[in-house]
Structure 1
Amino acid sequence: MAQSSWPSPSYNDRSVTDAEYEVLSARFSDNGVYGDPTDPAVVTEGVGLSVNVRPGVNASVRGHAWTSGTSTLTLAVAANGSSSTRTDRAILRLDRSDWTVRAVIKQGLPGSGVPTLTQQTGGTGVFEVLLANITVPPAATSVSVTRGERYVGTRVRPCTSTPLTDPNPVLGELRWETDAKRLSVYDGEELRTLHHRPDQMVIDSPFMGWSNETASVLEVRGGVACLRLGSFQRTSRALDHATNSRLPVMIPAAYRHPNRDQFGIVYITGAHIGRVTVMAKNNPLGGQVYLTQHPDIDVGDRVLSSTISWVVDH
């Protein structure tokens, strides 16, 4: 058969068959229900041996739209006359014998677990998508339902890091920020970074009383900020041991810990040790680094640091 494409003026006067439509539309949407898991369950227990499908549900199966309608849809469950529990499934089934999608019960075998979904492709057969599992005990007069609807996903949205990119993100939405080179997902409350590999950042910030002898560098990998403070020399006025002193460093706002100050050890001229504090984002001094415990420090003395790390959202 020669290659072809559709719809096209040169192909069957732009007419397509149901099978050709499926080939065209199957990947326009994932198979499943429109919505997300915070919505009410699609299938719930009904009266006696039945389950209810709530109204107003829309879904897609291999590109074929389905709706539950404007009123509750009730599906009958067969009685279980055996001595073993049976598990049925509420499913959406695309039946290519008439090209319809319907919510139906797929009955299991007592004692044999859940029935396998049939997902045939091509121009014939059926394609089934799960809505819920239904437990039917022996001689049951009612059933229990375990929700299992699958939801249509969202695409990866290319955007920039500006706050106005998308003021109304959708649960589960993936974003690739082209300027920040950041992949993030919206979890229903805020965007969470999945991947970000910013360049190594020199964070020197001149401040009176100190000079930077070696650059201070911040690197962020996999949600962890690693700070390698440089070496600092006291340049003016001796520092009393009871006085905290800001060092010539500033952590960028995006990479500060949200609510906890961080502490690190430093080595000071004369075989002394001290402590530095990296101020958290919620601290009025957020992003600043202070020498908070130390001996008396004379002009010309040096402070050498170790590495400090903390968790960030970027």
Structure 2
Amino acid sequence: MAESSYPNPGVTQLQHERLLGRALPSGLIGDPADQPLIYADGSGTREIRIRASRQAVVDGYGWQNDAAVVTKTLAANSSGSTRVDLVVLRLNRADWTLTVQIVQGTPGAGAPAATRTPASAGSGVYEIELATVTVANGATTLAGSTVTEKAWYLGEDGQILCKASIRPPHQKGRTAFEVDTGRWILSDGTTWRNAVDDSGTVAVPLLSGFSATENSLQRRGGVCVLALKVQRTTGAIPAGSTTKVANIPAGFEPTFPVQATALYWSGGAPAALRVTSAGIYVVTAAGVSVAEDRTVDGSLVWHAA
């Protein structure tokens, strides 16, 4: 067996992918704040549109759309059930083209999965997700609301930029920066872990009927600390009730519900503060109502999901 090296004297397409596809992440070039690459506007017959002047990298191969918007037509749906199609950017090793393609879903089921055949296979396709499109039974047009973005992005230094709701696929050691939460996340191959994370101090958004003289929430390294002194400003709170006080900002949701007990409203009524992924609640004791203008002061610590 002889040794060989490339790109000198020459390199095959497969060698190119096996080298650069491992060294470069895949994704759209830009920022999650950019307008979505794939959109619909209700025109044409089940048409989606590919925004002009955009670029991407897929497994070491570059893609770009020129100055003209490109349209794609989705198949009709007469199944009697809603269908969800997946829009992908596909590297096809049969001819080494990189193009936007529609992966048709199964009516009544969710969106199909992208296919990521590794370069070691030497053939097949490698896809990254761009969007899902909901095609109602009998649909002739596609409103903007039928398209849901699924793409992540590459910054100027090749770093992966994403949102908490749109993350790249798992790979051991892969890192990404969530622009909407301000945290670096790290994949262990199956789960995303908070790697570098400091939200600074923020306030939780209170609901009508409550005010706060202390309202501080911070997330650092995935650990959230809340200090909240809340006042009931409108009407009494019924005895034995669980009343929502505030919403939890995105990225601060707990892994599981947590509760601080042994708290008391001003005036002496027992209370508890409970935090779930849906928000922050005050829990009043059975048989004891809480009058208007009463306050409760508490703190909680939890791990963000």
TM-score where L is the length of structure 1: 0.48
TM-score where L is the length of structure 2: 0.50
- Pick the structure with greater CA Rg: 1
